[in-house]
A = this chain, B = another copy of it.
Amino acid sequence: MNRTDPTSLETLTARLREALGEDAVIAAPESRYHGDRAEPGAADARFLLVLPHDVEGVQATLRLAHETGTPVVSRGAGSGLSGGTVAIDGGMVLSLERLHTIREIDPLDEVAVVDAGVITADLSEALAPLGFFYAPDPASVAISTIGGNIATNAGGLHCAKYGVTRESVLALEVVLADGTLLRTGHRSLKGVTGLDLTQLLIGSEGTLAVVVAATVRIRPVPVARRTVLARFSTTAHAADGVNAISRSPVRPAATELLDSGAVADIDAHNGSRLGADPAAEAIGTHHPDGPRSSGGAVLLLELDGYGIREQTADLVDILTGAGGSVQVIEDEAEAEHLWELRRTSHAAGGGRRRLNEDVAVPKSRLAQMLTALEEIGHRHGVATSAIAHAGDGNLHPSLSLPGVPEDPSAALPAPILAAADEVVRTALELGGTISGEHGIGTAKQRWLDLELSPTSRSLQHRLKQAFDPRGLLNPGKAL
């Protein structure tokens, strides 16, 4: 990797300012530009922050980087959770945040064309009055960008039904390592002309090209939505409830599993009663073990679309049959409150050093994975809990040490690291993957060889070389 010395960073600043304008280059960027939400990056890293106003500005930046051999880390909002946007000393950080125009919304074609820096929730907000929505919904939806979501192939809560980001992207506008603009894909829902560069670029974490715009698929808002809450006496029983759904024709739009630890943390943090079950008898649902006490695990589900009553009736039957104590949440405010508890669950159990992991397993293996997680925690003296997008087998184990204060800049304590290693290895042993939706970045590189064969890794490096022969785009990440 080529690195520029301080002098050449100064020269570069001058040339970039000339090309992009004075305000487009910041020589001493604030700390958030050093890393992302998981990896703060080195506080003393020296790099240029480049904030182009338009696509031409991105091209000019990459042309200069190419000419001078300067590494470039591109980023959206920096909301990543795997260190994919950690700055490189002596390099540039290229932020797409000023490219935030929703260029076009076309309900008849069911597409929107957006700049990479558009906040994902802003697109959905613009679509709502038209009766449409954009399906990919990572928990970060209010702060992350479409471009960042594309770079990481972000997932979310509704993927089992609507797919991950990949399934909603039809076409891309990207800038290649030498500054050339490339358009890939198509505006029609189908298209098979040549190799699918769009799909290869999605999830490549800024290592192949810089995404500057995308044509995404939009969908009509479902005619109805219904939230269902099911409490189970143990985490394993909740996972069995997921299998019971798999055996049926019901496919919820969201199937969130909160294990007993997560439920306890959320209730303690919010003063909520997710784990309690006051209303179960009142609304007439059946629970074989009689009234429930706190401490169990929870499935929080959303149904949507036509036939919401039939869907709800079937789902209640299935979950009750699986031993759950089931509540149908008719009240919209109450439903929204429950989803808010879920979305903010990462904040629960705070005030101590914590690692939020991201693995996925074949979905029938969730119970085994969750049981293994508890065992691993016991063995290493680490507190564990997990939330899971259970419909697609993706789970986020939380590994924490209650006695150790929260300080993201300090190295993770050895017991957490050792437990994380076992968690990742267990996911692989169960036929899963080391990253379900957060990406590899810098955080997961050490496990890459466990999942990818030398043949695969060498091929991926050759593909990287085909895009970026000088190795300047986000070097040291993802691959």
Binding site for B on A (CB under 8 A): 106-111, 131, 152-153, 155, 159-160, 163-164, 166-167, 176, 180-184, 186-197, 199-200, 202-204, 207-208, 219-223, 243, 246-249, 251, 305-308, 310-311, 360-365, 389, 391-394, 431-440, 444, 448, 451-453, 455-457, 459-460, 462-467, 478-479
Check if A459 sits within 8 Å of B182, measured CB to CB: yes
Check if B111 sits within 8 Å of A362, measured CB to CB: yes
CA distance A467 to B462 in the complex (A): 8
CA distance A311 to B310 in the complex (A): 13
Whole-angstrom distance between the Cβ of A397 and the nearest chain B Cβ: 15
Residue of B nearest to A431 (CB): B187
Contact of A439 among B107, B192, B203, B363 (CB under 8 A): B192
A457 proximity list for chain B (CB < 8 A): 194
Whole-angstrom distance between the Cβ of A24 and the nearest chain B Cβ: 25
Given known contacts A220-B251, A389-B190, A180 and B455 CB-to-CB distance under 8 angstroms: yes
Contact of A459 among B188, B223, B466 (CB under 8 A): B466
Given known contacts A204-B195, A306-B305, A307-B308, A107 and B246 CB-to-CB distance under 8 angstroms: yes
Whole-angstrom distance between the Cβ of A45 and the nearest chain B Cβ: 25
Check if B193 sits within 8 Å of A434, measured CB to CB: yes
Chain A to chain B contacts (Cβ below 8 Å), 18 pairs: A108-B247, A159-B190, A176-B455, A184-B456, A186-B360, A187-B431, A187-B432, A190-B392, A190-B433, A191-B360, A193-B444, A195-B203, A195-B207, A199-B202, A306-B311, A459-B466, A462-B466, A466-B466
Check if B451 sits within 8 Å of A193, measured CB to CB: yes
Given known contacts A188-B432, A249-B221, A249-B222, A460 and B363 CB-to-CB distance under 8 angstroms: no
Residue of B nearest to A461 (CB): B466
Pairs of residues from A and B, 4 with the lowest C-beta to C-beta distance, nearest first? A307-B307, A306-B307, A108-B364, A189-B392
Whole-angstrom distance between the Cβ of A76 and the nearest chain B Cβ: 16
Residue of B nearest to A307 (CB): B307
CA distance A464 to B436 in the complex (A): 28
Whole-angstrom distance between the Cβ of A119 and the nearest chain B Cβ: 21
Check if A163 sits within 8 Å of B159, measured CB to CB: no
A107, A163, A182, A433: which has the most chain B beta carbons within 10 Å?
A433
Check if A435 sits within 8 Å of B193, measured CB to CB: yes
Given known contacts A192-B152, A307-B306, A448-B193, A455 and B364 CB-to-CB distance under 8 angstroms: no
Residue of B nearest to A202 (CB): B196
A307 proximity list for chain B (CB < 8 A): 305-308, 310-311
A153, A191, A436: which has the most chain B beta carbons within 10 Å?
A191
A153 proximity list for chain B (CB < 8 A): 192, 196
Whole-angstrom distance between the Cβ of A373 and the nearest chain B Cβ: 16
A207 proximity list for chain B (CB < 8 A): 195
Whole-angstrom distance between the Cβ of A359 and the nearest chain B Cβ: 9
Contact of A155 among B190, B363, B438, B456 (CB under 8 A): B190
A364 proximity list for chain B (CB < 8 A): 106, 108-109
